Structure formats: structure tokens, C-alpha cells
Amino acid sequence: MLKLFKKKSSSKRQAANHADAGRAPHHIAFICDGNRSWAKKRGMPAMHGHRRAADGDISKMVDWFIARGVNTFTFFIFSTENWTRSKEEVDFLMKLFGEVFDKNYKEAKEKNLRFKVIGRRDRIAKTLVKKIEKLEAETDENTGGTVVFALDYGGHDEIVRAVQSAIESGIPASDVDIDTFETFMDTGDLLPIDMVVRTSNEQRISNFLLWKLAYAELSFVSEQWPEYVNNEKLWQKTLDEFAHRNRRFGGGAEKNYSGKKSK
């Protein structure tokens, strides 16, 4: 069977998402920035910032947003470029991710949450890959919400790998459209992103989910991730900000566009 059919089409869900554009966001993506800055401000080693972020109650935050209409969350936790950091830091982070996946596995069944990890898997330890596969396999049919971790992920890398997979499948170029191409992507079965939140006052996308954030609203907050993940007032601020955005998706009728006086 061609790889083309490995994932569900997202076109119907995308249309539904656009139709509900004025309500709460369905999919929020978080660029979890500022762990090291948070630690530095407090005179601590960088690893304390990562530990503080991991100890933050993401589960509580997800529950809070789900209760208000959000159903998909993507957390950018390690990029394809983060391998350039010191071996000590990378090793510490990989161990931390394993702990996070174990914790989420225990909570997944009682909360009916589906977990997914996007990104490359050829450069991370096999023991971590096994945890990821177990977490995904045993939560795949859960319907209470979707939590996604972007690990060894890069937007360029995802698109290149999707192109390679499409070519390998043998599908004729004339048969490739947006919906078809998405089936080859890590994020193919996910809702389009409604809002991206980046913490630590950095105002850039950093190669994150380039395909899915085509019409996403962007929110840059000054607080670092260890602060944001534990602050309900900041979560509410995110929803309030989204509610005041005017989303037109390239359309929107303008009254008296030409400026001509009516007769």
C-alpha cells in the first residue's frame, strides 16, 4: 500500500476549523522558550530551568484549555538545531523527555488524551523511541484531546522528508494537492494551528510547524516558559488575545471597496 494512505485526511477538519474561526482556538502551539534565561536570572545552572519547566503542570494547563474549547496542543521541546548545544545539556534533556513521556503515559488513560510525537527518530536513543511508540500506540484512539510534542523537529526537515516520501511512493505529480501532500507529513492528521504562543519575549518562528501555521495568529509574551506554564492568568490572556483577532484567511468583504459614491 502506498504511504499516501497512512494518515487520515485533514481537509474536513480544516474546513470546520475555519468555519469556527471566531470562537476559542482549536489548536494552540507553544514555542517553549526561556528555560535557560529563567535559571540565569536566578543565578542557577541552565538545567534547573529545564527541570522547572518539566516539573510545571502542563497537565493542569491542558485541562484548563480543554475546558474552554481548545482540543489540540503542540509543544516545541527540541529542534533539529538544538543538537549543537553541549552534550551534557542534550543528554540531560533527553533523560527529562523520557520522564515526561512516562508521566503522560500514566495520565493518558484516565483523561482520555491522545499523545503524539513529531520529528525525526533516527537520532534519538532507541529507549526513548520505544517510550514514544508505546505512548502513541496506547493512546491513539483516545478522544478527549490531542497533545503533541515536537522532538528533534524542524519545519524545513518535515517538508523535505514529506517530499522524499511522496516521491518514494510513486504517486504521479498530477495527483498531488494540499490534502494529499499532508498525508506524508508528521503533522498530516493534525488540525491547522490557530495560535502560536512564544514565551521569553522572542519574536520569531524558529523553523516551527511552517506548514501548519499558514494562517495562525502569533502571540509573543515576555514571561519565560517556566512562568507561563504555571500561570492561569497568562492562559486566560492568551484566549482573550485570540478572541480579539480578526481572522479573514485572505478573504473578507470590504464595503464600498472602490470608494465610489452611491447613486
pLDDT per residue as tens digits for the range 81-93: 999 999 999 999 9
Q: What is the CA radius of gyration of the chain?
A: 20
pLDDT for the residue 37: 85
Q: In whole angstroms, what is the distance from residue 214 CA to residue 17 CA?
A: 13
Question: pLDDT tens digits, residue range 11-60?
Answer: 444 444 443 444 799 999 999 988 888 888 899 988 888 888 888 778 89
Q: Is the CB of residue 195 less than 8 Å from the CB of residue 242?
A: yes
pLDDT for the residue 249: 78
How distant, in Å, are the alpha carbons of 64, 222, 257 from that of 250?
31, 29, 15
- List the alpha helices (DSSP H) in the chain: 11-19, 35-41, 46-55, 58-66, 87-111, 126-137, 155-169, 178-182, 225-228, 232-243
257 or 122: which carries more pLDDT confidence?
Answer: 122
User: Does the domain at residues 3-9+26-224 carry the CATH identifier 3.40.1180.10?
Assistant: yes
Average pLDDT over residues 249-259: 63
Backbone φ and ψ for 196, nearest 5 degrees, come out as -110, 130
> What is the pTM (predicted TM-score) of this model?
0.85
Confidence of residue 5 (pLDDT cuts 50, 70, 90): very low
Tell whether the model's pLDDT for residue 132 goes beyond 70: yes
Work out the mean pLDDT of the chain and round it to a whole number: 87
Average pLDDT over residues 165-191: 96
pLDDT for the residue 258: 59
Residues tagged active-site: 33, 82
Q: Is the CB of residue 132 less than 8 Å from the CB of residue 102?
A: no
Cell numbers 503542570: residue: 57
Percentage of residues in the chain with pLDDT exceeding 70? Answer: 87
CA dihedral for 45, 121, 210, 186, sign (positive or negative): negative
Question: pLDDT tens digits, residue range 94-103?
Answer: 999 999 899 8
Average pLDDT over residues 65-73: 96
pLDDT for the residue 20: 43
Phi-psi region of 34 (alpha: psi -120 to 50; beta: other; left: phi over 0): left
